[in-house]
Structure 1
Amino acid sequence: MFMQKMNSMIHTMNRNDGTLPIFKTEAQAAALEALLLSDRPLSTREIITATGASQPTLHRELTRLVDAGLLVRTTVGRSALFAPDEANPAVAPLRTLITLSRGPQALITTALADVPGISRALIFGSFAARSTGAPGAAPDDIDLLIVGSPVRRDVYDALDPLDQALRREVNVTFLSDDRWDAAEDEIVTRILGEPRLELLP
């Protein structure tokens, strides 16, 4: 029964609408993004604000996700709250997929793709930890490491348009190739010993 519901949720779409083609609708993908990257249950109103979807559309998509066993719905007073069902083994890989396709990882990778001089870029710190399933509060910022010799102004100019979409401050750390290759460097050792999200190359 669970697999039947999951299969009914997955639907091939036209790739030109910007939605990864495993999600039935853009509203469904946006709702999953809001919920899977949140550190607490969200009300219907909060999800509407985060996704821009209409109430009827969102109600339909949330019902599908609850029926598929991906979300749990609780009631507090007159408010319905939704959260991922962490007991469902599909939730963890789905969170990774959402992060890769719609979250900061995808946006920052695209923004930096045309900046010359970057030999490596990755996200580290609390955002990377939460995105890979480590428990904790939702991070307020994103720690971004840039390795290479880009013009710093070019990096900041590429990231500036993302402020509204990311809804988080991006803290950029720059390292030269030589320093990154120095395994005894304290910063490098710390980053390599923690969860990280590789962006470039």
Structure 2
Amino acid sequence: MRRTSSSGEGVIAPCLPATSDTDIPTFMQKMNSMIHIMNRNDGTLPIFKTEAQAAALEALLLSDRPLSTREIITATGASQPTLHRELTRLVDAGLLVRTTVGRSALFAPDEANPAVAPLRTLITLSRGPQALITTALADVPGISRALIFGSFAARSTGAPGAAPDDIDLLIVGSPVRRDVYDALDPLDQALRREVNVTFLSDDRWDAAEDEIVTRILGEPRLELLP
């Protein structure tokens, strides 16, 4: 993790798990029906057909257990009809498995499908930072607010540009900085991006005339905490 901020953007080439020659056709066949391969400058890995599809995959691929339809709706904010359609597509493509427990349908990634591992990598790179950073910071005392700003937030909200090579993270409050760094350091390998942390006190955040605060509030941002 980078302790000092820097500017600039770059294109990340994700390191995908290797597949055998016999796996490649299967992978492409499964993925071809699910995603559109787009120009890398159109946004942060904007390869999924719909936002609901990407959000559902994010919830499921980053979860450590199967999720019910209700849990996925809560996590994604998608409507029930939209989510039902996307989950059906993902099951039909062999990316998810559906099981029934009582009257509830549970969904989980089909780990036997060779497309799942690289897809999880793409989700983690393009969407996972929000979930991973929020979880990492949840138990750090003294944080009154945390958000992602800068180029990563801009790409995530649809602004055009190259895929960002770092993440700008704002921490508001009075946490022990070492606690924040210790919480974030384990994420470096998973994110494959450097995290640049900016610390602001509560008083400075509340100061509307502060230049940094004004700039951040005037740009796209991804709220993490509270």
For Structure 1 versus Structure 2, the TM-score category normalised by the shorter chain is 0.5 to 0.7
CA contact (8 A) 1:19 1:29 kept: no
Following superposition, the deviation at residue 75 of structure 1 comes to 39
Structure 1 residues 45-91: Cα deviation after superposition (integer angstroms, max 9, x where no partner): 99999999999999999996799999999999999999999999999
Q: Which moved more, 1:102-111 or 1:52-61?
A: 52-61
Distance 1:135 1:176, change over 3 A: same
Q: Which moved more, 1:141-150 or 1:75-84?
A: 75-84
Q: Which moved more, 1:77-86 or 1:154-163?
A: 77-86
Partners of 2:120 and 2:47 in 1: CA distance = 14
Distance 1:137 1:6, change over 3 A: closer
SS of aligned partner of 1:9: coil
**Which has a greater percent of helix?**
1
Q: State the TM-score, normalizing by the size of structure 2.
A: 0.49
Distance 1:167 1:78, change over 3 A: farther
Partners of 1:134 and 1:162 in 2: CA distance = 25
Q: Which moved more, 1:35-44 or 1:118-127?
A: 35-44
What fraction of aligned residue pairs are identical, expressed as a percent? Answer: 100
Shift >3 Å, 4+ stretches: 2-102
Following superposition, the deviation at residue 103 of structure 1 comes to 1.1
CA contact (8 A) 1:99 1:131 kept: no
Distance 1:125 1:76, change over 3 A: farther
The gaps in structure 2 that reach 5 residues or longer are 1-26
SS of aligned partner of 1:156: helix
CA contact (8 A) 1:84 1:91 kept: yes
Distance 1:10 1:184, change over 3 A: same
Distance 1:11 1:161, change over 3 A: same
Following superposition, the deviation at residue 119 of structure 1 comes to 0.1
CA contact (8 A) 1:132 1:195 kept: yes
Residue number in structure 2 paired with 1:60 = 85
Distance 1:80 1:130, change over 3 A: farther
CA contact (8 A) 2:137 2:183 kept: yes
Distance 1:126 1:77, change over 3 A: farther
Partners of 1:138 and 1:74 in 2: CA distance = 36
Distance 1:78 1:147, change over 3 A: closer
Higher RCO, Cα 8 Å, sep 6+:
2
Distance 1:195 1:49, change over 3 A: closer
Partners of 2:105 and 2:71 in 1: CA distance = 11
Following superposition, the deviation at residue 14 of structure 1 comes to 34
The gaps in structure 1 that reach 5 residues or longer are none
CA contact (8 A) 1:11 1:23 kept: yes
Partners of 2:155 and 2:221 in 1: CA distance = 10
